[in-house]
Structure 1
Amino acid sequence: MESALPADPLAPAPELAVPPSVLRHPAFALFWASRVFSTIAFQMQAVAIGWQVYGLTGSAFALGLVGLAQFIPGLALAFVVGPVADRFDRRLIVRLCQTVEGAAVGGLALAWFMGRLDIVPIFAAVFVIGSARAFEAPTLQALVPGLVPADLLPRALAWSSTANQTAIICGPAVGGLLYALSPGTVYAVAAALFLVSSLVIGFIRLERAPPRREPVTLASVFAGVAFIRSRPAILGAISLDLFAVLLGGATALLPIFARDILAIGPWGLGLLRSAPALGALSMSLFLAQCPLERRVGRIMLTAVAIFGLATVVFALSTSFWLSLVALVVLGAADSISVVIRLSLVQLETPDEMRGRVSAVNFIFIGTSNQLGEFESGLTAAWFGAVPAALIGGIGTLLVVLIWLKAFPDLARRDRLQSASVG
């Protein structure tokens, strides 16, 4: 449940009691700003693409194919991304990826203004964006620990989540409003934001030196898999999020709920897409001030269960406001799970392996977001949008019950960092 990816470097609100040791760090502030720009851009184009694809096809299955078009390159490149992120400058990788994403979205804007935008170039752009994000997302995760001292990493990850969620709140709403002008306007603004984000990343200076380069061997390529398998609590946390995302990902169906069930337009769709991020942002701000210290395994399992319950409520709701509340709760629960999972992974992974471990994490979580969208679209095409979302929520609750027994190390995990890790 991503799923999905710090603090305001310019003017943090006084009431947030911002810890200066984290948020006034220049590298971290630049990272935060870049993350906001790129995520706003991604969310804006996602709203436009979702509304256009459903408008052009009227097909829930076509919406699912949007997720599949992003999942395929993410899966295909998974074991290339890790070694690249561990051998080369992670800042450069992120800049190149964001430039490619900006070019792809800019191409959609150009096609729209030329009157040549149809379903084929949309899916081609989605595939290119999915390929770039396959490199960008795990590299960004691996970059964060190099921005702050190790003892501040849990707070930094929580504030990193605030950047992501702030943008997810703003991006869909802005995208929905700009869509009223034209889809081309949405794509053009998103392309500009991707390029600005790429420029900001270029100014980052690392807290620690980049990882050393080691020879590429078959063992080194799959070292991330071996590392995660050797840590039962981490494996349990990642796989729990995997199945929760696969089953509980109702966001792909939001255009259907917005148009056919709740009878709202693109602006209402933007609010629905922003609602989970509002909940996640609120929870991330809380966790940045009050980091989780004890019973983290039980807390994560409980959060995923709440995620499933909120999905059930959303599926059954015919009220716009109840649907918004359910999505806010869903996002808050998701944020708890994300912060715990990322902290477990980053705190126990040596820096020279973070790219490969983050790439495996991205296979489980990042690409499963897109595969979950495809699953939701396919299920909705078979049974309808409401049954599809309901099945996903109930399935998530069943997964939590199974994981309680299958991964006792996760259920018993007390602290984010084990005693064996320095």
Structure 2
Amino acid sequence: MTDSAAPRPSQDLPASPLAIPDYRRYWLARFTSVFATSGMVVVLGYQLYDIARGSYGMSIKAAAFQLGVLGLVQFLPQILFAPIAGVIADRFDRRNVTALATMIDLVIALVLTAATALGALNLPLLFALGALHGTARSFIGPAQSSIAPNIVPAALMPRAIAISSMAWQTGAVSGPALAGILFAVMPSLPYALSSVLLAIATISIFRIRPVPPPPGNADTHPLRQIVEGMTYVGSDRFLLGCVTLDLFAVLLGGATALLPVYARDILTWHGQPVGSYGLGIMRAMPSLGAAAVGLVLARRPIEREVGAKMLLAVAAYGIATAAFGLSRDFILSLGLLAALGAADMISVFIRNALVQLHVPDALRGRVSAISGLAISASNELGEMESGLAAALLGATGAVVFGGVGAVVVTVLWTIGFPELRRVRTFAVRYADE
């Protein structure tokens, strides 16, 4: 069995992945969907915290805990659906799976637009929509990440991943920043914009040529396929180390869940809380730092000592997170958020390239589902961990504790998974060759 994205002779390769029409459509869909959902989630979190503090009269710690609950309800559907989503990505046209799941986010954006305009938001509704968004993400992740290797030659994959990551980060920069501004003008506007952008993303995905499922998967029982994917990752220490490093480092080190607390009650600008506008800027800064690094990586991808650089980047992420927790200067805090985003981009770029180039196409959807579940666990459970830690230690204590914890995890994984630090280049053979 050979991979559908096997390298072609160098003279046949385009100069850039962007020279491939389907990849341009893929890039546009990724950018618009991330722009839409990142802005939507930021505003949703701020509204949830504000409603908890105002309408429900909760204390800062109790309202911060509600943000943790929001992370949990987004994650639980992904536990349930991730194994199924991986099988579906390997059995059906990955383009259709991605587009249909994106339409779920479109429905969420439309409901939030109407509910905000009518003043009908409450905590149960916000939690329910958060859970539905988690369900959509569980199907989008494996299918969407598995499309690129089917439309881009393997030799261009590191650059394609960097450009794709830049699309993600650019959308994540623009989305929260613009959402914060639009929310200040009219609370329903950011959701209305998200609806339009998600419609564009859906159309762009449908315009990609059909991506037939890998041969042979339709003949295998779905339960056996689930077991095959889990066994493949569990038996490969290299993949297992990559997946679990992100899981535990970001699980502890995530500070974004508590940014509404910093925006409303901790950080000030000219004596006033930075509020929703400051929250939008803070949520954008990690992605701004990541996008800047992504631009460099798209032109000059990392090629040497990739494993060691990935580990160092995770450690830098933890250090920047802890420093942000201690900062009380708004400008310094923005710089630290950009720094942790830049470090995270290096780690994500290396890990994604290694995983995509290490896994055969027939297993790519299932392995991507497991990897995506780990990422979601680190993000959503990280939000839950941050909310719980904030209830016990306060927001500052929770962020500093998490940043230090990410550094400790990096040290432990460097020792426990020597396969990671020994990786020199992206020249990893496909497992089925």
For the 8 Å contact 2:93–2:212, the answer to whether it is kept is no
1:233 is displaced (CA, Å) by: 1.8
Equivalent position amino acid for 1:355 in 2? G
Determine whether 1:51 maps to 2:30.
no
Aligned partners of 1:348 and 1:417 also within 8 Å? no
CA-based RMSD: 1.4
Work out the CA distance in 2 between the residues paired with 1:214 and 1:230.
24
Whether 1:223 and 2:233 are equivalent positions in the alignment is no
List gaps (5 residues or longer) in structure 1.
1-18
CA distance in structure 2 between the partners assigned to 1:370 and 1:419 by the alignment: 33
Aligned-pair CA distance for 1:112:
2.2
1:42 corresponds to which residue?
A: 37
Which residue is 1:259 aligned to? Answer: 264
Matched, 1:211 2:214: yes
Letter in 2 for 1:89: D
Residue 196 of structure 2 is matched in structure 1 by: 192
Q: How does 1:87-236 map to 2 (within 5 A)?
A: 87-205=91-209, 209-212=212-215, 213-236=218-241
Counterpart CA distance in 2 for 1:132 and 1:188 is: 19
Q: Contact 1:71–1:368 at 8 Å: present in 2 too?
A: no
- Report sequence identity in percent: 44
Equivalent in 263, 268, 272 of residue 278 of structure 2: 268
Work out which of the residue numbers 57, 64, 83 in structure 2 matches 1:60.
Answer: 64
CA distance in 2, matches of 1:78, 1:22: 29
**Superposed displacement of residue 217, structure 1:** 4.3
Measured in 2, the distance between the counterparts of 1:274 and 1:351 equals 34
Q: Which amino acid aligns with 2:45?
A: G
- Does the aligned pair in 2 maintain the 1:83–1:216 contact within 8 Å? no
Pairwise CA distance, 1:63: 0.7
CA distance in 1 between counterparts of 2:240 and 2:295 reads: 26
For the Cα contact (< 8 Å) 1:242–1:368, is it kept in 2?
yes
When normalised by structure 2's length, the TM-score is 0.90
SS across alignment from 1:384: helix
Which residue identity is paired with 1:244?
Answer: A
Distance 2:223 2:26 in 1: 32
2:382 alignment partner in structure 1 = 372
Q: Aligned letter for 2:234?
A: R
Q: Who is 1:381 aligned against?
A: 391
In the TM superposition, 1:297-376 aligns within 5 A as 297-376=307-386
Spell out, residue by residue over 1:283-327, the C-alpha distance to the aligned partner (whole angstroms, 9 max, x if none): 111111112222111111100010011001101100111111111
> Aligned pair 1:30/2:25, yes or no?
yes
Q: Aligned pair in 2 of structure 1 residues 319, 336: CA closer, same or farther (>3 Å)?
A: same
Report the CA distance shift for 1:233/1:179 in structure 2 as closer, same or farther (over 3 A).
Answer: same
Match of 1:21 in 2: 16
Q: Does 1:394 align with 2:389?
A: no
Distance 2:150 2:292 in 1: 26
Question: TM-score w.r.t. structure 1 length?
Answer: 0.93
Structure 1 moving runs of 4+ over 6 Å: none
Whether the aligned pair in 1 keeps the contact of 2:180 and 2:277 (CA below 8 Å) is yes
Q: Which runs of 5+ in 2 are unaligned?
A: 1-13, 54-62, 268-272
Per the TM alignment, residue 410 of structure 1 is displaced from its structure 2 partner at its CA by 0.9
Which deviations, in whole Å up to 9, do the C-alpha atoms of 1:66-100 show, x marking residues without a partner? 11111000111111111100001111111111111
* 1:71/1:370 contact within 8 Å kept: yes
Separation in 2 of the partners of 1:329 and 1:114?
Answer: 39
Letter of the structure 2 residue corresponding to residue 189 of structure 1: L
The residue that corresponds to 1:86 in the other structure is: 90
